[in-house]
Structure 1
Amino acid sequence: KGRLDSALTKEDTEILLESLKSFGILNNDYSYEASLDTAEYRGYPENGAPGGGLYNAAPEPSEPIALEDLLKSRFWEKMRNHTTYRHHAPMFQPVGGMEEIAHAFAREVDDTITYNAKVDRIRQTESGVEVEYSSADGEGSGGVETADYCICTIPFTVLSQLDVDVSGDMRRVMRALHYHEAVKAGLEMKRRFWERDEQIYGGITLTDLPIAEISYPSAEMHSDGPGVLLGCYAYGPHAYAFNSMSPEERLETVLEQGARIHPQYRDEFSSGVVLSWHRVPWMLGCYSDWDDRGRDYEIAATMDNRFVCAGEHISYLPGWQEGSLLSALDAVRQVHDRAVKEG
């Protein structure tokens, strides 16, 4: 409605236009057009990049994508995720994968971990806590662990179905918390064809297919051996559709859709797995989805007699290991304060 000018002084307007021209690579008419300036940022056409010597050395401008096509692609829905606080460009990863962090913890406390144990009941008394468990795989016997306090990291999707001595408010919050749906596919390929054939090194191909995206490994680049692609990372309705399929159907669907992007899929495929978090019995969902971190969040995060919860769901960083660790530290703080108070 022409009101932008009324919110800016003449000097502000000049500075804003200058910044748009510089940041947006606009010409003197404030248009984004094919030029060597825009090509320096958006890329050059095939065989048109700057070279050396005489033959094919002079760069050529590339043709920008039409505004109409950009708008219809709705590309910002995907790109905006990578400009958030949790997805800053400088990100690090542990050598060998994220699970190496868990392995590092296990090396330090392995002698205190009881493996193959499925919690069946958590019972509180005035002086302690009892945790009853059975064999997770049906082999071996269960048992009972007793302690002064319990820090519980079981997701609410599972914990709400167990026999747990907690307050009515805590039980209500546990049952009400929704967990996001998500599906991920790992595809082992015989060779790293995306590097050899297409010069793709890391990064993501965003698609409008149910698989959502294909992500390329940033480790072991240029190696001769096989490589693993993230062949699908789906949320929402598409994830629920994958949930309803058998493991074989999920894998076939991922391969069929991925082959539309990379025709080499079928010839290069070696093995793969498609994981649906809602079908993992120890999780039953990907990560917590708080509608409102109000009073219910306070109840979930506060010690309930001798029982306190921890995990990504008890944090403002859901779905991240950082949220889990910070939540655990706060749970330990609460237990410590309670123990000191009791003397």
Structure 2
Amino acid sequence: MVTANIPLSRAATSLQLSSSFVHGEAKLSASASFLMGAPLPSCNPSPLSNSKVARRLVVRSKKISGLDEYIRIQKERQLRASPTSKRRPPLRRGKVSQRLPVPDHIPKPPYVGSKLLPEISSEHQIHDAEGLDHMRAACELAARVVDYAGTLVRPSVTTNEIDKAVHQMIIDAGAYPSPLGYGGFPKSVCTSVNECMCHGIPDSRQLQDGDIINIDVTVYLNGYHGDTSKTFLCGNVNNAMRRLVKVTEECMYKGIAVCKDGALFRKIGKRISEHAEKFGFGVVDRFVGHGIGTVFHSEPLIYHHRNDMSGHMVEGQTFTIEPILTLGTTDCITWEDNWTTLTADGSPAAQFEHTILITKTGAEILTKY
């Protein structure tokens, strides 16, 4: 995942990894507001009128007048009204352990060793048969790793522990964990909890019952990157957050469904936004999908919100689709580590991601097995 800034020259300088888990000391805005729909007043008709029909019409008209507001704020009301949900404390920064070593015999991407963020490559990555074989292998490994990481999610587990397990599985497969050392990123996976939109750095914070966590895995195998992420439930998650996670995954697949040779890129954002809006969720516009292959981040940039960007898909092209949805605002704040990005109002966020290959008739999802 990269940061979307226009013009592109600015986007290149603020390129970031894909989303996941985070903790730390955040100075969140205290202005997070939850607009609550006012209850309908009781109907007390005049003694001069005993029409039951009139009373029903009055109540009915009030329901209709409040429908738009209800749709707009239903996510906040669910969080406040649910008897099983309670206000979560904001994320706090935990202790980040030392960077894990990678054996010398494992090939490393060219950016390793530099703390500078690589620029976004302007080249659209289109592969021949051999390149696609390598892409499929890298993407399948990434898919297996993220599913394994999901089995570790439970209350009391730290994201440091998840990072360590993911790191070991990747190097055991002869691959390199792509996030490690990317622009100075200190860990092998991104782990984004609750209000963390993306780019969370694994640390000593223990997962709590009721958390959600996005785990974002990218591997570098035989010179090619494979990138995927999923949001997992930790224990007894409330219904509002469960719905957010479910709809976010659906949005990703809605976006994939419009992809094929010759299709306009902007159709992805349109389809994702249409589905998210049905449930009152926000679609984050700051972070975008990206081309991927021998280069971690390249053109095209994939916008997940409504947009009028030009460009169309080409057979043989590979890129990621990775929408982030929120229960509240889509505005964000970034911690001083320059990675961990949270919703400005502390509301939960979820994300899913696949790497896809454009074909003549559709799209092949590469990050599955």
TM over 0.5: no
Q: Tell me: higher relative CO, structure 1 or 2? Use CA pairs within 8 A at least 6 residues apart.
A: 2
Q: TM-score, normalised by structure 2?
A: 0.24
- Richer in helix (by share): 1
Q: From the CA coordinates, give the structure whose radius of gyration is larger.
A: 1
